[in-house]
A and B are shown apart, each in its own frame.
Chain A
Amino acid sequence: MIQTVGSASPILDVRNLTVTLHTPKTSVRPVDRVSYTVNRGEVLAIVGESGSGKTILNLAPLGLLPAGVDSDLEGSVKFEGQDLLTSGEYKLRAVRGGGIGVIFQDPLSALNPVRKIGRQIAEVAEEHLKLTPRAAEQRAGELLSLVGLPDPLSRLQQYPHELSGGQRQRVGIAISIAGEPRLLIADEPTTALDVTVQAQIISLLKDLQRRLKMAIVIITHDIGVVSGLASKVAVMYAGRLAEIGSVDDVLTRSVHPYTLGLLNSVPTLKAPIGSRFSGLPGSPPDLSRRIDGCAFTPRCSHAIPGCERGRPPLVHAPGDGPEHLAACPVVMNKLALELA
């Protein structure tokens, strides 16, 4: 099949991706037949708890897994028409940092502690944009001012430990966009930061996305931070998508009880003072075991006896657009009845 890279085709097309990881101690399947697309200039938020597979889903196809882990990837992950799963390490390296930029959760561990910040940014620009060292250094200065670091030129000469957490994350973002990527993958970019800095970083990402016309995939466990940034939201549970749709569909007309549980667990300024916090009971399932039926059943308040038989498929939510899909027949049947 010939695929043309036009503006109509999605920049990232993930089809039936399954990831199995093997370490000397155990094997797990953190991603199980997941499909989604990201269009040019779109912001997709992938939300789920620790261990839901959301990070592996994004990093495994790029070959970014910790050393000592063997991975089996099935399905296809097409970036601008090129299947990343069948690309060799050499081609992947050109994609990483070039076509796809990555922001990591912990900015300190993603930066080299003994090299100047300017060099670290310039390196990426040299590699992917084929700039001369001097031009790359100049570009690094521009990038630092683009990500809103005050006094960017003197920052170029600083080392990571001389910066605060928020400033380091800005440097991390500058590095990730230095190769002028068309897609930015941000893995929990705000989790390690204060609420105030978190707001700054979210607003920076929104601003960059608009100015550089990038697509962004933001991975987070905090469904609270996605409402102002994402255009599309995918909720992931136990290696599968529980719900996916436009940000308004998923956050305001949520279908899946897991999505609702995540939304309810975000503390708001509306709950009565002194009242109990609402969250999700229990913890996510062990992904090294077989899961029968809906993986969320043990923690679900809507669960009925049929739920532990057969994993529910992802289908259109009744009454909503064709883009809004969810995997909970119990709630969907109720909705369909109400509509009828």
Chain B
Amino acid sequence: MMSGGLINIVDLKTHFRDRRTGAEVKACDGVTVSIGEGEIVGLVGESGCGKSTLGRTIVGLERPTSGKIIFRGEDLLSLRGRRLAESRRQIQYIFQDPYSSLSTRQTIGQAIDEALVINGEKNAKARRKRTEELLAAVGLPTQIMDRYSREMSGGQRQRVCIARALAANPKVLICDEPVSSLDVSIRAQIMNLFLQLRDEMGMACLLIAHDLAVVRQAAQRVYVMYLGRLMEIGESGALYGTPSHPYTQALLSAIPDTDPRQERARQRVLLNGDVPSPVNPPTGCRFRTRCPTAQAICETSPPAKVMGPDHIAACHFAGEVNLAPTQH
């Protein structure tokens, strides 16, 4: 799709060797994703679909098996030394659990200060000033500098993690379930912070989440991933308006409605069981073992069907099935 993006991930594969069994785990198995400058892109799927592995591979926490990660025209996997470090710095990661993302032995000020030191700022006064700016950018008061993370709420901790990531002057934030450990009532504060960072600083984001509703509002484009592969790609409007892959339809159907009358009237598609093991993924369409509409042909690889401009679904019956008619 967008070849002129800020980051283009091309056919990326990350396989692990299982410590105990020695089997090859194909966590991420040929995924192509692109993120444009100042764009928020969503990556959704259930636990075990490989979405976190993809994010971790992009920032270098996992080693890819093959593929390309092209950042500003250069393939990160062919870079070494200083130039690699310089590029890597511009891609930062936000973890799901903000509590374990902060050292218990550092104050908030020390944690951000250390990030600035790593980033090469030698002047202590300049660092202090920058720390104050970063805290202000994420909506935290300066006094919080002398506090420890255990004295703060989950939402505040996640803000600190974002401020620390910003210390590296990144162009992209890879956010792995950034709000799923927070109270629903607090999530909006953090989600709006990402929108604000995009609008004010042109920050691009890869928003990794299992909750399609959270991603929908923020992301311009959404990738749906299942068992190491992409199932459907689309502009938010198209993907949520006319979801074409049965997996996307099932994910959407799982989102509860807060109105009890509509909830009672609605027909739900419940997927059975969990994501199968990525050691031995099903042949052909990987979703076929849980798909309510699977047929014999699904044992062959599904074609990438173009459903519209910027909207692709990898299903033999894309656009022909509708598991959960949406109410709107």
Contact = CB atoms under 8 A, between A and B. Distances in A.
Q: Do chains A and B touch in the complex (CB under 8 A)?
A: yes
Interface of A: 49-50, 150, 164-167, 194-200, 202-203, 221-225, 227-228, 230, 247-248, 251-252, 261-263, 265-281, 283
Contacts of A222: 184
Binding site secondary structure of chain A: loop
Contact of A224 (B186, B258, B273): B258
A50 B240 contact: no
A50 B259 contact: no
Interface stretch (B66-74, B82-90, B247-255): B247-255
Contact of B263 (A50, A200, A228, A278): A228
13 contacts: A164-B48, A165-B47, A195-B255, A196-B254, A227-B257, A227-B259, A252-B260, A267-B216, A269-B328, A272-B217, A276-B195, A277-B217, A281-B189
Nearest to A163: B274
Contacts of A227: 256-260, 263
A127 B70 CA distance: 61
B189 A224 contact: no
B106 interface: no
Nearest to A276: B192
A49 B263 contact: no
Contact of A283 (B186, B211, B270): B186
B254 A247 contact: no
Contacts of A265: 184-185, 187-188
A278 B274 CA distance: 32
A222 B259 CA distance: 13
B317 to A, nearest CB: 20
Interface string B275-293: 0000000000000000000
B210 A195 contact: yes
A269 B324 CA distance: 14
A272 B254 CA distance: 20
B290 to A, nearest CB: 10
Interface in B142-162: 153-156
Nearest to A258: B185
A248 B261 contact: yes
B52 interface: no
Interface residues of B, number: 51
Contact of B183 (A50, A164, A281): A50
B59 interface: no
Nearest to A271: B217
B216 A269 contact: yes
A252 B216 contact: no
B191 interface: yes
B264 A228 contact: yes
Contacts of A280: 185-186, 188
A270 B217 CA distance: 9
A279 B256 contact: no
B186 A49 contact: yes
Contacts of A199: 253-254, 256, 268, 270
B25 to A, nearest CB: 15
Contacts of B156: 283
A49 B256 contact: no
A221 B184 contact: yes
B79 interface: no
A269 B195 CA distance: 18
Given A227-B256, A228-B256, A266-B258, A49 B270 contact: no
Contact of B259 (A225, A251, A279): A251
Which residue, A164, A195, A252, A281, has most C-beta atoms of chain B within 10 A? A195
Contacts of B46: 194-197
Contact of A269 (B210, B240, B272): B240
B38 to A, nearest CB: 13
B256 A196 contact: no
Given A280-B186, A283-B153, A267 B261 contact: no
Which residue, B214, B217, B251, has most C-beta atoms of chain A within 10 A? B217
B237 interface: yes
Contacts of A197: 46, 274
